[in-house]
């Protein structure tokens, strides 16, 4: 069985990826995570004590630590999920995004290169560095524009997107210059269990469960292409095993929705599962000031991964959303734990100044 170093594995997508990898028993996993506000070790509680899973608290930007872990565990692959991932936070405080997404990815690449260069030729051939990126690097689409392809020029609009674009360029350069066997995936908005409730879908679910306003930025007509997190994790595993070295792969849900429709669908599910006698959840919808520089539309053309590797998203949006809402209802301990000081402070910081007069 191969050993993989997963970074950012205590976050939303990384944790779902590790749980899937261990369920399918295809890899021993070393999880390196700094444990920022977005992480949650509860996500991985079921793996505690497993001999094929090791957690290490640390920063991808810590070159000595990463080099030590590579020497110690001799992984066949690195999968880099670690990032500052929330656009609104990047608008309020961009510096952390440069540190982790740009400098951190650079240090991780540099430690990986030095490790890889010392491997035997056959192990060098086997090794992969898979970098998980985003469709936001391509910028914003107009309603009639074709979906993002792998050759769409980069045009990042937020500090978050710019930091991810920079990291993608470093990954590309490490392949081109040093021959490091890299793979990059650019995916659309993920949803599913275990997502920190600063992002639209879990924020809406938690606020609606509490009878609080459901904030919609601007006119609610911005479009995102929603991808169920398990579909995404399966695609990453496939790219890791069969992707062509040095290539990038777009991963999307083939599922474009306006934000208003997404929030209305969540409200309809909650009306069914936890009906209120005196109001419908949709009455909580509240339009608030728009996000500065808000990208209008994202859409992914995933024909390359579909044709080359045979991947297609499997989850249907209505059933995926139902599973997601049900997960938050079924896990009150997880929900109560994340409703910590840090989360409350974020709601105040981001939403107080967005109220419309």
Catalytic residues: 135-136, 160
Q: How far is CA 34 from the centre of its chain?
A: 16
> Is 14 among the residues that bind ligand NAD (CB under 6 A)?
yes
**For residues 22 and 319, is the Cβ–Cβ distance under 8 A?**
no
Which among 10-18, 65-73, 274-282, 349-357 is the span making contact with ligand NAD, rule CB under 6 A? 10-18
Q: How far is the CB of 276 from ligand DAU (least distance, A)?
A: 21
* Rama region for 192: left / alpha / beta (φ>0; ψ in -120 to 50; rest): left
Strand segments (E) across the chain:
2-7, 27-33, 53-57, 77-80, 128-134, 182-187, 190-191, 214-217, 223-225, 227-228, 248-251, 256-258, 285-288
Which residue in the block uniquely carries the two structure tokens 């792998």?
150
Select from 163, 171, 165 the least CA-distant residue to 152.
Answer: 165
Q: Which does 194 bind (CB under 5 to 8 A by kind): ligand NAD, ligand DAU, none?
A: none
85 vs 250, beta carbon nearer ligand DAU: 85
- Based on DSSP, count helices (H) and strands (E) in the chain, helices before strands: 14, 13
> Is 255 among the residues that bind ligand NAD (CB under 6 A)?
no
Q: How far is the CB of 327 from ligand DAU (least distance, A)?
A: 17
List the x/- string, 226-245, binding to ligand NAD by CB under 6 A.
Answer: --------------------
Q: What is the dihedral of CA 61, 64, 66, 69, to 10 degrees?
A: -160
**Total number of residues that touch ligand NAD (CB under 6 A):** 31
Q: What is the dihedral of CA 242, 324, 58, 51, to 10 degrees?
A: -70
> Is 14 among the residues that bind ligand DAU (CB under 6 A)?
no
Q: Which does 217 bind (CB under 5 to 8 A by kind): ligand NAD, ligand DAU, none?
A: ligand DAU
Q: How far is the CB of 262 from ligand DAU (least distance, A)?
A: 8
Other residues' Cβ atoms within 10 Å of the Cβ of residue 312: 10
Q: Which one among 4, 19, 47, 59 touches ligand NAD, defined by CB under 6 A?
A: 59
**Segment 175 to 214, residues that bind ligand NAD, using CB under 6 A:** 187, 189-190, 196
Question: At 178, phi and psi to the nearest 5?
Answer: -105, -10
Q: Which one among 5, 6, 12, 269 touches ligand NAD, defined by CB under 6 A?
A: 12
Interface residue list for ligand NAD (CB under 6 A): 7-8, 10-14, 32-36, 38-39, 59-61, 81-85, 100, 104, 132, 134, 164, 187, 189-190, 196
Interface residue list for ligand DAU (CB under 6 A): 85-87, 134-136, 188-189, 199-200, 203, 215-217, 222, 224, 259, 291, 298
């Amino acid at each position: 069985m191969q050993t993989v170093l997963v970074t950012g594995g205590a976050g939303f997508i990384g944790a779902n990826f590790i749980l899937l990898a261990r369920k399918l028993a295809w890899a021993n996993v070393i999880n390196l995570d700094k444990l920022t506000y977005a992480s949650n070790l509860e996500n991985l509680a079921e793996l505690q004590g497993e001999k094929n899973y090791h957690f290490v608290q640390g920063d991808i930007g810590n070159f000595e630590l990463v080099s030590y872990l590579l020497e110690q565990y001799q992984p066949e692959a690195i999968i880099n999920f670690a990032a500052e991932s929330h656009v609104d936070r990047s608008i309020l405080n961009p510096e952390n995004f440069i540190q982790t997404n740009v400098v951190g990815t650079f240090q991780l690449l540099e430690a990986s290169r030095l490790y890889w260069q010392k491997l035997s030729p056959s192990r060098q051939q086997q090794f992969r560095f898979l970098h998980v990126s985003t469709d936001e690097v391509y910028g914003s689409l107009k309603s009639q524009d074709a979906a993002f392809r792998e050759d769409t020029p980069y045009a990042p609009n937020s500090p978050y997107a710019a930091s991810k674009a920079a990291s993608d360029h470093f990954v590309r350069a490490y392949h081109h210059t040093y021959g490091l066997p890299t793979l990059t995936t650019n995916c659309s908005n993920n949803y599913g269990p275990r997502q920190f409730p600063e992002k639209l879908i879990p924020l809406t679910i938690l606020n609606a469960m509490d009878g609080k306003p459901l904030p919609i930025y601007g006119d609610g007509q911005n479009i995102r292409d929603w991808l169920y997190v398990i579909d995404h994790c399966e695609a990453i595993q496939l790219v890791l095993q069969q992707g062509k070295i040095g290539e990038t792969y777009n991963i999307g849900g083939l599922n474009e929705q306006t934000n208003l429709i997404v929030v209305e669908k969540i409200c309809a599910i909650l009306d069914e599962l936890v009906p209120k006698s005196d109001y419908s959840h949709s009455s909580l919808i509240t339009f608030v000031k728009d996000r500065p520089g808000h990208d209008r539309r994202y859409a992914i053309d995933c024909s390359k991964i579909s044709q080359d590797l045979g991947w297609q998203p499997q989850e249907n949006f209505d059933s995926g959303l139902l599973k997601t809402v049900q997960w938050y209802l079924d896990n009150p301990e997880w929900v109560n734990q994340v409703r910590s000081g840090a989360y409350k402070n974020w709601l105040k910081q981001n939403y107080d100044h967005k109220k419309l007069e």
